[in-house]
Chains A and B, each alone.
Chain A
Amino acid sequence: GAVVSQHPSWVICKSGTSVKIECRSLDFQATTMFWYRQFPKQSLMLMATSNEGSKATYEQGVEKDKFLINHASLTLSTLTVTSAHPEDSSFYICSARDPGLAGVNEQFFGPGTRLTVL
């Protein structure tokens, strides 16, 4: 099956610094990737849809300048949390669609990145 990886799996940073999280599709080319945020004991909140070679589409209420998304290749999307603050601490999960699975909008999820901002 399709595999999606994330790096790092966890990160601790100081308030005010920036953190980059990578999401890679390992065995397929993903034209579309998604970034989610998950708070403890809650569901996933879609932050943005990332399309290769174009600007990301952000969900309402998500700050574009704070959560920078780059989808520079068909196998890599990055999320950069700029000037991180403690309230940005969360579990960030990416997913990717396999365009080879025509007609089924199945997403393959990465293992997640636990961000803690001190």
Chain B
Amino acid sequence: GDSVTQMEGPVTLSEEAFLTINCTYTATGYPSLFWYVQYPGEGLQLLLKATKADDKGSNKGFEATYRKETTSFHLEKGSVQVSDSAVYFCALSHSGYSTLTFGKGTMLLVSP
């Protein structure tokens, strides 16, 4: 079955540092890939998505590129802020199916 693997956290960075959160997946076919962010005490918000190979999703300075050859969708940001502190979830779904498969989440802590 499908699975998503994320790097374990917490990831601790200083403000303005470069961020990478690794995400790899196992799935048949060509799933859509997502990054969701969860701020403390809140639900999930879609951060970005990519629906086919080589697509780059981007939002709020975050980027991730759908790499079919390495089955990866790593999240990056050039300069993190304290307000980026949250838990980040990588997920996938297949066209024609409803459910999302989530990774375990990676907590990001950014200090001033």
Residue count of chain A within 8 Å CB distance of chain B:
24
Contact at A44–B98, with CB atoms within 8 Å?
Answer: no
B5 to chain A, nearest CB (A): 12
Interface flags, A1-19, vs B, CB<8A=1, else 0: 0001010000000000000
Within 5-50 of B, Cβ neighbours of A (below 8 Å) are at 32, 34, 36, 41-46, 49
- Which among A32, A105, A114 has the highest number of chain B CB atoms within 10 Å? A105
Given contacts A43-B89, A44-B89, A106-B34, contact A6 B43 (CB under 8 A): yes
Interface flags, A97-118, vs B, CB<8A=1, else 0: 1000001111111111010000
How many A-B Cβ pairs are below 8 Å?
Answer: 59
Task: Name the prevailing secondary structure of the A interface residues.
Answer: strand
Task: Name the prevailing secondary structure of the B interface residues.
Answer: loop
Contact at B104–A42, with CB atoms within 8 Å?
Answer: yes
- Which among B49, B99, B103, B104 has the highest number of chain A CB atoms within 10 Å? B99
Contact at B43–A49, with CB atoms within 8 Å?
Answer: no
List chain B positions with a Cβ less than 8 A from chain A.
32, 34, 36, 41-46, 49, 51, 89, 93-95, 97-100, 102-105, 107
Q: A42-B104, A105-B95, A107-B93 are known contacts; what are 7 more A-B pairs with Cβ within 8 Å?
A: A34-B100, A43-B105, A44-B102, A93-B43, A107-B100, A109-B36, A112-B41
List chain A positions with a Cβ less than 8 A from chain B.
4, 6, 32, 34, 41-44, 46, 49, 93, 95, 97, 103-112, 114
A and B contact pairs by CB, cutoff 8 A, 21 listed? A6-B43, A34-B100, A43-B89, A43-B104, A44-B44, A46-B100, A49-B98, A49-B99, A93-B43, A103-B95, A104-B51, A105-B93, A105-B94, A105-B95, A105-B99, A106-B32, A108-B46, A109-B43, A109-B46, A112-B41, A112-B42
